[in-house]
Amino acid sequence: MIVLMVAMVLLAVLIALFAGGLAAFSQRDRALDPRAVALLEERMAPIGEVRTGDAPPPVQQAAAEAGGELLSGAEVNAQVCATCHASGVMNAPRVGDTAAWQGRLAERDYATLVQHAINGFNAMPAKGGNPSLSDDEVEAAVAHMLAESGIER
């Protein structure tokens, strides 16, 4: 019985060594297929990019190309604010939801609401995540969202 077990263990070790040697032999000196490498690199390519440095974000670049004029509140809302305020992401008050905006104004005044939009508050980043916006453009966007929600300030 012991001889049979030793023989089986020895056979398993020989099979493992043979399989390892065979695998190493088959992969040695084999060049990679350039098409397979290109396909792999394409699949691993990033799907987006992070902008850092001096390049202006597309919103501000469009304004600069248009003569450096400030964006209107409607333009800032459409290009920046609507990302969250159109759908209510992270509990952002939706444009058009009068009750939600009245609740915000009941907790704080208009100036504080504007300062929160400029400097960021809770989950909202400063200037909606677009630091190239001017304070006046952000205030115009807040005023626009309030007006669209039926609130006179």
Query: Quick one: pLDDT band at residue 6, thresholds 50, 70, 90?
Result: very high
pLDDT attached to residue 37: 82
pLDDT of residue 15: 92
Q: Which of 33-42, 75-84, 86-95 has the lowest mean pLDDT?
A: 33-42
Query: In the structure, what pLDDT confidence band is assigned to residue 67 with cuts at 50, 70 and 90?
Result: low
DSSP string, 77-145: IIIIIHHHHTTTGGGPPPTT-HHHHHHHHHHS-HHHHHHHHHH-BTTBPGGGG-TTS-HHHHHHHHHHH
CA–CA separation, 146 vs 148, rounded Å? Answer: 5
Quick check: 84 pLDDT over 60? Answer: yes
pTM of the model: 0.56
Please give the domain boundaries of the chain with CATH numbers for all domains: 69-148 (1.10.760.10)
Which of 44-48, 65-69, 111-115 bottoms out in mean pLDDT, i.e. has the lowest? 65-69
Greater confidence, 5 or 65?
A: 5
